[in-house]
Amino acid sequence: MDVGLTHYLIISAILFSLGIYGVVTRRNAIMVLMGIELILNSANINFIAFSRYGGMQLDGQAIAVFVIILAAAEAAIALAIVLNIYQRFNTVNVDDVSKLKE
């Protein structure tokens, strides 16, 4: 069986859904961040698949490189913030970090 555009799109849709599912259900801040990484990478798969099979130029591949770098930057900031939260609250459970009024 030939692997084509559709297969990649299905994989990326599954990854995206898993990412959203992870963000919504996980209470541990680190796990939420992992869900976010899944979302970003699902978009990357889309970009590269479209670029490879859609008969388009290299735009998609270039975007994917940028996204990888940004994901790293964002993860660095997010982990620093989570570390700070751990020092203040002694927990990384996002539900327990709610001093501010609902």
Partner 1 sequence: MLEQIVHSVKLLQPETALAVTFCVLLVLDLVVRRKSNLAAWLALLGLVVTAFFVLQQASSGQNSIFFNMLAVDSFSVFFKFVILASSFLIILFSLQSDELNSGTRRLGEYYSLIIALTLGMFLMTGASNLLMMYLSIELTSISSYILAGYTKEAEDSSEASLKYVIYGAVSSGMMLYGISMLYGLTGAVDIYGINRALTEGDINLMALMIASILMVAGFGYKISAVPFHFWTPDVYEGAPITITAFLSVASKAAGFAMMMRFFKVSFLDPTVGNLAMGAWASFQGFEWNQLLAAISVLTMTLGNLVAIWQNNLKRLLAYSSIAHAGYMLMGVVVLSNEGLAAVLIYFVVYLFMNLGAFYTVMIVANKTGSEDIEAYKGLGYRTPLIGVAMTIFLLSLTGIPPTAGFVGKLYLFAALINGKWFWLVVIGALNSVVSLYYYVRILRNMFLKTPERSAEPIQFSFAHVTILLVLLIPTILLGVYFGPLVEYAQASLVMFGIQ
Contact residues for partner 1 (CB under 8 A)?
9, 12, 16, 19-20, 23, 29, 32-33, 35-36, 39-40, 42-44, 46-47, 49-50, 54-56, 59-60, 62-63, 66-67, 70, 73-74, 77-78, 81-82, 84-85, 88-89, 94, 97-101
Sign of the torsion formed by the C-alpha atoms of 46, 48, 54 and 58: positive
What CA–CA distance (Å, rounded) separates 74 from 76?
Answer: 5
What CA–CA distance (Å, rounded) separates 34 from 42?
Answer: 12
Q: How far is the CB of 68 from partner 1 (least distance, A)?
A: 12
Q: How far is the CB of 25 from partner 1 (least distance, A)?
A: 13
